[in-house]
Chain A
Amino acid sequence: MLTAADDAALVRATARRQARSRYVAHAVLTLGVLVFAFPIWLTLVGSSHDANTIGRGDVPLWFGAQAITNYISAWTTGGSAVRTTGQVPAWLMLWNSLNMAVMIALGKIAISLLSAYAVVFFSFPGRMVAFWLIFITLMLPVEVRIIPTFEVMVNLGLINTMSGLVVPLIASATATLLFRQFFLTIPDEYVEAAKIDGAGPLRFFKDVVMPLSVTNIAALFVILFIYGWNQYLWPLLIVSDKDLETVVVGMSKMIGTSDSQNEWNIIMATAVLAMLPPVAVVVFMQRWFVKGLTETEK
């Protein structure tokens, strides 16, 4: 038999156990946050000192006084160091990156929505062949086909153009697959009801499929925007014109290999600026698609 005293002891033990697991969870969480946040902290701090402080090899852990000067300099001129492509102001690089990322994301979504729609809702000869051809391209990373793609772009005269930068990155097997999987969950009855209502294929796409896909589109936009924003190899190859420099490539070019001193403060300020658009997209769109996900109804 358990006495009241035993019960009290059990209650205390449970409370202790719960407290302990709470502390452990928080400790692990804090550690994780520190590991992830520390480099960003260093970048933020670094962008607020003058070039010499970092150049000396001292890594400060607290903010300096140069923040405003550094950011203005990075934004308007890209710093004073001589670089392979000359000085490109951060605003131009950010603008180029934004253009490229938005076009890649929207292009990928448009193409894959339409191709998934065709594969799921229409039956035509060669449908499965088309689907598997799209599927197979998943196995080829961009790097494998980069030389032939480059050659095609050269022949088309698209070197050093925004189209050359964006178009080869638009075809997307992943997004097509995701939309296909989603479309397969749309009940046949909607299609049939639409047929009886008299909605043609494009009307059905616009009035039913698109509105139902909004949350998927939002989720994919976030992923694809960041994918586009982070492109490095392809822009490096296709663009040599400094007016089309993207921020990810441009930043790496700011780190010189010559004897001249790197302007680490400007580089770090640019890095901070380069982080902002993806963060903004995630923060803004996340609210939207989490809302969509929790209200899902089919």
Chain B
Amino acid sequence: MATLTLSAVRKQFGSTQVLHGIDLDVADGEMIVVVGASGCGKSTLLRIVAGLETPSSGIVRIDGRDVTALEPADRDIAMVFQNYALYPHMSVFENMAYGLKIRGQAMPEIKRRVAEAAEMLEIGPLLDRKPRQLSGGQRQRVAMGRAVVREPKLFLFDEPLSNLDAKLRVQMRAEIRRLQKRLGVTSLFVTHDQVEAMTLGDRLVVMHAGRAAQVASPMEVWGRPADTYVAGFIGSPAMNFLQATLAGGGTAATLKAGPTIAFADGARPGADGTPLTIGIRPEHVTVSPDGLPLTVDLVEPLGSETVIHGRLPGNEVLVARLPIAASDIGAVLPLTLPASAFHVFDAAGVRMGG
């Protein structure tokens, strides 16, 4: 039960700036997912919270206590590693008990806690086995068990699902979420997988090049992305970006593809002719008889829906996710881009209004 506060955390490796001042407030019991492409600094951020790296500047507080200069062991945290980092020569029980043993817990208490965690994670029958005798999913559970028995203030997850196959990943994802809700332990979860991020997090931190591009709830990130990077990163297939200019005194956009479309949610500041980027998600594009002609060049059937890649007039690339049967390559589909689904970004890629 604790809060986590990061204030202006920066990290430099030599002359390379990896984190450019991260501020974050995590509420008690909240699950924060830090998501971003590889190299965005998300793992460094987690390691700074864990105490495995020291920030170049900035302060890390856990439950109000400044832990910036404390050793990992003194921060009352538990971490689940990507490759689980289970000690290979110790049994599952010993692995889970190790941290407690070092902290000088009495054996009956250790046994009780391990048994409790093992029960919760359904690994009771495995306690005498060595890690090499376990499957990937079981190792994952043991790694979680090792974190749970410590009853820490903070759980840190470093891409813990990356080494699992797709089916198991979905299952473990749900289990982690359930466990975290049940225990109510404040958690920081790092991943590069946007689906994991969307499904797991109370809030997301979308990292881009060492900065937190957006900190918000999953639906907020999806529905009102702060910039074109976040807009393109979250959602699959990725959001379409169309070139446009401001028109009608800020009330409409003239697409490079042709039409001028009035905004559904009010005017944007700026002179007519200001360059814009209009974002629209593939699933919001609809087919209608009087729409823009899309020349289809790739068709990906998904069963219930079809993802269609093509080009609009003006050679603008567009991907649409449509509830229709597969179309032919080379065919022309009339599509409507509803103004209510527009995301408007300025020339620098920052969201404008709405």
Contacts and interface: CB of A to CB of B under 8 A. Distances in A.
Interface of A: 187, 189-190, 192-193, 195-199, 203, 207-208, 211-212, 297-298
A192 B102 contact: no
Given A187-B85, A297-B88, A196 B132 contact: no
Contacts of B81: 189, 192-193
Given A196-B78, A197-B98, A203-B102, A190 B73 contact: no
21 contacts: A189-B81, A189-B82, A190-B87, A192-B50, A192-B52, A192-B79, A192-B81, A193-B85, A193-B87, A195-B51, A196-B72, A196-B77, A196-B78, A197-B73, A199-B73, A199-B102, A203-B102, A297-B88, A297-B130, A297-B131, A297-B132
Given A203-B102, A207-B98, A297-B132, A195 B52 contact: yes
B167 interface: no
Interface string B74-101: 0001110111110111000000001100
Nearest to A198: B73
Main SS of the interface on chain A?
A: helix
B182 interface: no
A198 B101 CA distance: 10
A73 B219 CA distance: 93
Indicate the member of A198, A208, A298 with the most B CB atoms within 10 Å: A198
Contacts of A187: 83, 85
Interface of B: 50-52, 71-73, 77-79, 81-85, 87-89, 98-99, 102-103, 130-132
A189 B73 contact: no
A208 B95 CA distance: 11
A212 B78 contact: no
Nearest to A297: B132
B85 A189 contact: yes
Contacts of A199: 73, 98, 102
A197 B102 contact: yes
Given A208-B87, A297-B88, A195 B132 contact: no
Contacts of A212: 88-89
Interchain residue pairs A-B with the least CB separation, the first 8: A198-B73, A189-B85, A197-B99, A193-B85, A297-B132, A211-B89, A198-B102, A195-B72
Contacts of B98: 197, 199, 207
A207 B88 CA distance: 11
Contacts of A197: 73, 98-99, 102
A212 B85 CA distance: 14
Nearest to B103: A198
B87 A196 contact: no
Contacts of B88: 212, 297-298
